[in-house]
Amino acid sequence: MKLTHFCQCQILLFIILYSSSTFVTSQDSCSSKLVQIQLPYPFDTSALLCSPVWPTHNFILRYAKASSDVWSFIFSFPLDLKAYAAIGFSKDGSMVGSSAIVGWMPSPGTGGMQLYYLAGKSPNEVIRNKGDIYVMNASFVPATDSLGYLIFQLKTTQPSSNLLFAIGPNGQFPNYPDYALAQHVDQTSITIDYNKGATGENSNLNLRRSHGVLNIMGWSILMIIGSMIARYSKQWDPMWFYFHASIQTFGFVAGIIGILCGLLLSKKLDSKVTHHRNIAIVIILLGFLQVLAIVLRPGKESKIRKYWNWYHHNVGRILIIFGVLNTFYGLHLGGEGSKSFITYGVTIAVLFIITVVLEIRMWIIARKETRSKDTSSFTNPWS
């Protein structure tokens, strides 16, 4: 009886292991062979290299150079995501300006594949049947019930090494007649070495993000907050000065690093952003003038202190104005969507409203103090 129970346990364990292995092999991997499809592959698949380009979602890319100006690709993704999957070829690792091949299968036996050009981040800027890549022999094949293949060739001597991958929202697929593409719910950007099959994080994208965040924080937000402390916190002397100097220093350093990231990114991509770069140079010069102002700051009793105040305050205001304008211009050049513009615009608007409120408060207090002095200096001649 004990032996029977032991055999039953072995059989049950075997079933569990077999079921789990069946589930794993139903998913794709670089160690598994290509699934045989009903129609023959439109190109030779024996020499394809393989890379797990997005392990989080089990995205696999196989590729090979078919001739001097043709590359073959098979992009596989799990269909149990119940969403579209996309592969994009980008010049700099960003979504805007890239061309994407998108595939989907809402139900067994039905599916689709389309080419899109991502001119921007809003839906009307995602253009179907357009792109800067030449696609041949393209087809979407449901290899199994849980695995899909995007099969295509690119006519190019060297495809971009900056690749994008995205997943759409669950259950939302491009539909006839316009095949509008819903905004993705998850995406990643990588670089790939087609010779070795190695993939890595996209350094251009990291530079781009660092450039944006550091410049936004440095030249606009921190500079505005620092100037507000200097103007509206004089009653807490000398603490206001230390806070003001510290915040402006952090903003200056962050802004300088952000601009250096931008210059490095521009050099790597060979991008033409002349106006954006020239405005950044003006901002740097204004920032150094402010540093020089601190170094040469005269004493409070000095006769030239009022001229120094005028110089320091107005150079700071001009710097902030240029910083805000160049940030909006940079968001435009980067093709950022309306969310980025709105978020930054609301932040600046909130800081502006707070400034207006504090300015009115300071004006009211000054007016009360003036009236109080006038009243105290008045003497009754009949007393």
169-204: pLDDT as tens digits: 998 999 888 899 988 899 899 999 998 888 887 767
pLDDT at 374 (0 to 100):
65
What residue spans define the domains of the chain?
31-201, 204-369
Residue 68 · residue 158 · CB < 8 Å: no
Query: How far apart, in Å, are the Cα atoms of 127 and each of 136, 178, 194, 284?
Result: 19, 10, 28, 39
pLDDT at 349 over 90: yes
Strand extents, DSSP E, the chain: 49-54, 59-67, 70-78, 85-90, 98-107, 110-118, 126-128, 135-144, 147-155, 162-167, 186-193, 198-201
pLDDT at 122 (0 to 100):
78
Task: Provide the pLDDT confidence category of residue 383 given band limits of 50, 70 and 90.
Answer: very low
**What three-state secondary structure class fits 17?**
helix
* Bridge partners, residue 77, by sequence: 148
Looking at CATH, the fold of the domain delimited by 31-201 is given as Immunoglobulin-like (2.60.40)
Mean pLDDT of 148-171: 94
Same fold, 31-201 and 204-369: no
Please give the Cα distance from 24 to 58 (Å, whole number): 11
Residue type, 339: K
pLDDT at 7 over 90: no
Residue 88 · residue 99 · CB < 8 Å: yes
Task: Provide the pLDDT confidence category of residue 369 given band limits of 50, 70 and 90.
Answer: confident
Q: Is 76 exposed, middle or buried (0-12, 13-18, 19+ CB in 10 A)?
A: buried
Residue type, 366: A
Say what the pTM is. Answer: 0.65
236-280: pLDDT as tens digits: 888 999 999 999 999 999 999 999 998 888 877 667 788 999 999
Q: Computed over its alpha carbons, how large is the radius of gyration of the chain? A: 31
pLDDT at 378 (0 to 100):
52
The CA-based dihedral angle spanning residues 171, 176, 177, 182, taken in that order and rounded to the nearest 10 degrees: 20
Please give the Cα distance from 323 to 276 (Å, whole number): 11
Element spanning 322, H or E? helix 305-333
pLDDT at 202 (0 to 100):
73
pLDDT at 380 (0 to 100):
53
Of 260, 102, 79, 98, residue with least CA distance to 181: 102
* Letter string b/e over residues 200-226, b meaning 16 or more CB atoms within 10 A of that residue's CB: eebebbebbebbbebbbbbbbbbbbbb
pLDDT at 286 over 90: yes
Please give the Cα distance from 116 to 336 (Å, whole number): 18
Looking at CATH, the fold of the domain delimited by 204-369 is given as Four Helix Bundle (Hemerythrin (Met), subunit A) (1.20.120)
